[in-house]
């Protein structure tokens, strides 16, 4: 069964206006949607959020960032979402899974329309320029994204209009007059209990504003289309109850449940073209533009291949998404609107939302209007991409906001990266008194003295921590909800133990370590700790950890999670030439940095 003729005529008409491209939409009914479904349908899903594994062997692990609004240039908050999602994807690749990462830009809506008008340029031209900045940031911060979606892309427009038809066919769309307090900045309506009268500090003007965001609202009365979201209240609440870890952290899940119980109402999902003409047209009503959040949320489906899912192959593009990485300020859209929309058309919701906190500057949320944003391009130029990734993933907040200061970046660089990671690597690899390749060769020839049967104090303790660290990091990244900060701390604790062990054994002192065998034991155990830590830290600092493993002489095919065990690789090490490293090779992994002026911006 295909779509009705009036819908196909509407799509052709829309294409003629330049909104849907030149090729026809293919209508493929998802096999789980009953043709007779109505807005009273009930369906249950099981979401597995703790293992990170797919329900089907053909399904890749699929992680997304929010798509970033192009009304302004990116700041470090956007970069944090990018590197957080990237670290999650890279972690699962390290674990041997096929993984996909999607990022991109949200380009429709009133804010973009107004911003373009203020600059006196067409909206598409404005979007092209700002979307490129986000694309460049993704590349600069080392993001290994498979997709960069733009909501002005033709495949996305197809997906949105197709999704609209499915909502309408299932009885979830109706036309009605709507009135309420609308916030252009937040692109949503607020109820009377969610707004307050306040004064603008700069002007003293009294306005009505959202309590949550502080942004101004205006009273709107108009005729538009609505989504029967209230018909899904019980289904949403049952879904939350059956999937208590669906939103991380748990406190955010509690917020969503409370809102659905107390504030849920039908959602206005279109705007008159007379007020908003920059967006995707309602397929069978050119006088209406589809609400930007309905448009934006569907991007996650677009790059998963929707709507051209062949029966039985829906998961090949990654859906359902394993993790949506989002900022806490867009939780309602993803935690309420998104699952409701998906339930209405019979598509399984994503497996998990990771709602991270904000980056602040001087304990205040970054805002372009306040002039307190940190330019990520300048920050990367100043500190290097891997240093910035480490700092943001190590100290960025999942539950609580984190403050950005250059002095804090410098402190992490000096204490963690130079003194701990870089210094431990240098102590093992740069001495003329021993050779890592010889120590590994010794271990290969003396398995009984380094294997599980060999349990001399000190050596055994370090070997056991080498084996325990991958398990601890896997738990941090896969159980409950991904937390790179906890995973990174486990790796750094291993390096700290290796440093303590090495310093206490003093292999450089011939009076305490007089023979080559004892020295090789010490060097091998410490080198194993650094090798395993380097493998496990690849998702967080891919460039620097590749250099570290190069310095140790670890072959590219032996840098997987399976090799991250004690004695997991007995064929590495870079031989020296006359007691020295090869000429001109291996400068300091983290060279000294002159902090200059450690300002906050």
Whether the Cβ atoms of residue 290 and residue 279 lie closer than 8 Å to each other:
yes
Q: CA distances (Å), 124 to each of 117, 229, 279, in order?
A: 11, 32, 10
- 29 pLDDT band, cuts 50/70/90, is very low
Q: Select, from the ranges 172-181, 275-284, 592-601, the one with the highest average predicted confidence (pLDDT).
A: 275-284
- Is-cis flag, bond preceding 447, omega within 30? no
By CB neighbour count within 10 A (0-12 exposed, 13-18 middle, 19+ buried), where does 458 fall?
middle
Percentage of the chain lying above the pLDDT 90 cut: 67
Closest by CA to 493, choosing from 590, 572, 427, 394, is 394
Mean pLDDT, all residues of the chain: 85
pLDDT at residue 47 in the model: 55
- 181 pLDDT band, cuts 50/70/90, is confident
- 119 pLDDT band, cuts 50/70/90, is very high
Q: Does the pLDDT value for residue 493 go beyond 50? A: yes
The tens digit of pLDDT for each residue in 500-535 reads: 999 999 999 888 888 989 999 999 999 999 999 999
Q: Select, from the ranges 40-44, 121-125, 590-594, the one with the highest average predicted confidence (pLDDT).
A: 121-125
**Per DSSP, what are the bridge partners of residue 210?**
195
- Give the span between the Cα atoms of 232 and 32, in whole angstroms: 18
- 25 pLDDT band, cuts 50/70/90, is very low
3-state SS record for 429-498: HCCCCCCHHHHHHHHHHCHHHCCCCCCCCCHHHHHHHHHHHHHHHHHHHHCCCCCHHHHHHHHHHHHHHH
Q: Which of 308-322, 334-348, 439-453 is the least confident region?
A: 439-453
Rounded to an integer, the average pLDDT of 238-259 is: 96
Q: Select, from the ranges 11-25, 315-329, 447-461, the one with the highest average predicted confidence (pLDDT).
A: 315-329
Radius of gyration over alpha carbons of the chain, in Å?
27
Question: Phi and psi at residue 98, in whole multiples of 5°?
Answer: -75, 130
Q: Does the pLDDT value for residue 214 go beyond 80? A: no
Q: Does the pLDDT value for residue 18 go beyond 50? A: no
Closest by CA to 247, choosing from 354, 347, 324, is 354
Q: Does the pLDDT value for residue 601 go beyond 50? A: no
**Per DSSP, what are the bridge partners of residue 289?**
271, 281
- 449 pLDDT band, cuts 50/70/90, is low
Domains belonging to the chain, first-starting first, are 5-380 (3.40.50.620), 405-563 (1.10.730.10)
Q: CA distances (Å), 419 to each of 55, 390, 392, in order?
A: 43, 15, 19
Residues in the chain: 601
The tens digit of pLDDT for each residue in 44-84 reads: 565 544 334 444 457 999 999 999 999 889 999 999 999 99
pLDDT at residue 53 in the model: 41
Q: Does the pLDDT value for residue 298 go beyond 80? A: yes
Q: How many helices (H) and strands (E) does the chain have?
A: 20, 19
Residue carrying structure tokens 């096929």:
98
The tens digit of pLDDT for each residue in 370-426 reads: 677 899 999 999 999 999 999 999 999 899 999 999 999 999 999 999 999 999 999
The tens digit of pLDDT for each residue in 311-321 reads: 888 899 999 99
pLDDT at residue 103 in the model: 98
pLDDT at residue 211 in the model: 72
Q: Does the pLDDT value for residue 192 go beyond 80? A: no
Rounded to a whole number of angstroms, the distance between the first and last alpha carbons of the chain is: 58
Which distant-in-sequence residues (6+ apart) come within 8 Å of 13 by Cβ?
A: 286
The CB density around residue 122, as the number of other CB atoms within 10 Å, is: 12
pLDDT at residue 313 in the model: 86
**pTM value?**
0.85
The tens digit of pLDDT for each residue in 218-248 reads: 777 788 999 999 999 999 999 999 999 999 9
The H or E element containing residue 507 is: none
The tens digit of pLDDT for each residue in 575-586 reads: 655 554 554 455
Alpha-helix residue ranges (DSSP H) falling in 346-457: 376-383, 385-395, 406-412, 423-429, 436-445
DSSP state at residue 351: S
**Per DSSP, what are the bridge partners of residue 99?**
61
Higher-confidence position of 454 and 319: 319
Rounded to an integer, the average pLDDT of 468-479 is: 97
- 275 pLDDT band, cuts 50/70/90, is confident
């Amino acid at each position: 069964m295909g779509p009705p003729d009036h819908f196909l005529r509407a799509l052709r008409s829309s294409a003629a206006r330049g909104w849907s491209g030149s090729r026809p939409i293919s209508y493929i009914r998802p096999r789980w949607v009953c043709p007779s479904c109505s807005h009273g349908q009930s369906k249950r899903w099981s979401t597995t959020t703790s293992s990170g594994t797919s329900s089907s062997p053909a399904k890749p692990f699929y992680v997304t960032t929010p798509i970033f609004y192009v009304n302004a240039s990116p700041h470090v908050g956007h970069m944090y979402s990018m590197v957080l999602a990237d670290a999650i994807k890279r972690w699962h690749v390290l674990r041997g899974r096929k993984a996909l990462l999607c990022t991109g830009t949200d380009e429709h809506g009133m804010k973009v329309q107004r911003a373009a008008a203020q600059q006196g340029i067409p909206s598409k031209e404005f979007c092209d320029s700002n979307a490129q900045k986000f694309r460049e940031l993704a590349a600069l911060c080392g993001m290994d994204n498979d997709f960069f979606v733009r909501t002005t892309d033709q495949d996305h427009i197809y997906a949105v209009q197709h999704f609209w038809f499915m909502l309408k066919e299932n009885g979830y769309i109706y036309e009605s007059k709507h009135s309420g307090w609308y916030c252009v900045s937040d692109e949503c309506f607020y109820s009377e209990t969610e707004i307050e009268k306040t004064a603008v500090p700069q002007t003293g003007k009294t306005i009505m504003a959202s309590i949550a965001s502080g942004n101004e609202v205006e009273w709107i009365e108009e005729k538009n289309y609505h989504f029967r979201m209230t018909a899904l209240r019980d289904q949403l609440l049952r879904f939350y109850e059956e999937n208590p870890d669906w939103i991380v952290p748990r406190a955010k899940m509690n917020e969503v449940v409370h809102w659905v119980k107390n504030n849920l109402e039908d959602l206005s999902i279109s705007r008159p073209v007379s007020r908003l003409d920059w967006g995707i047209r309602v397929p069978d009503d050119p006088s209406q533009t589809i609400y930007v959040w309905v448009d934006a949320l569907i991007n996650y489906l677009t790059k998963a291949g929707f709507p051209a899912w062949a029966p039985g192959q829906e998961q090949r593009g990654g859906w359902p998404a394993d993790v949506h990485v989002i900022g806490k300020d867009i939780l309602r859209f993803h935690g309420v609107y998104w699952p409701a929309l998906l339930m209405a058309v019979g598509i399984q919701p994503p497996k998990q939302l990771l709602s991270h906190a904000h980056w602040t500057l001087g304990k205040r949320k970054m805002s372009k209007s306040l002039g307190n944003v940190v330019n990520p391009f300048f920050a990367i130029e100043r500190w290097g991409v891997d240093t910035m990734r480490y700092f943001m993933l190590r100290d960025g907040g999942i539950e609580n906001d984190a403050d950005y200061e250059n002095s804090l970046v410098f402190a992490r660089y000096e204490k963690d990266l130079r003194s701990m990671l870089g210094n431990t690597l240098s102590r093992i690899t740069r001495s003329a008194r021993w050779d890592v390749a010889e120590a590994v060769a010794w271990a290969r020839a003396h398995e009984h003295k380094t294997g599980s049967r060999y349990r001399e104090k000190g050596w055994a303790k370090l070997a056991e921590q080498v084996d325990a660290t991958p398990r601890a990091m896997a738990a941090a990244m896969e159980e409950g909800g991904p937390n790179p900060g906890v995973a990174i701390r486990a790796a750094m604790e291993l390096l700290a133990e290796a440093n303590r062990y090495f310093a206490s054994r003093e292999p450089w002192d011939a009076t305490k370590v007089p023979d080559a065998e004892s020295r090789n034991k010490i060097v091998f155990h410490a080198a194993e700790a650094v090798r395993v830590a380097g493998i496990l830290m690849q998702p967080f600092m891919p460039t620097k950890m590749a250099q570290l493993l190069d310095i140790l002489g670890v072959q590219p095919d032996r840098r997987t999670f399976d090799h991250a065990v004690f004695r997991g690789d007995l064929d590495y090490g870079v031989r020296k030439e006359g007691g020295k490293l090869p000429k001109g090779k291996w400068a300091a992994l983290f060279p000294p940095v002159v902090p200059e002026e450690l300002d906050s911006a």
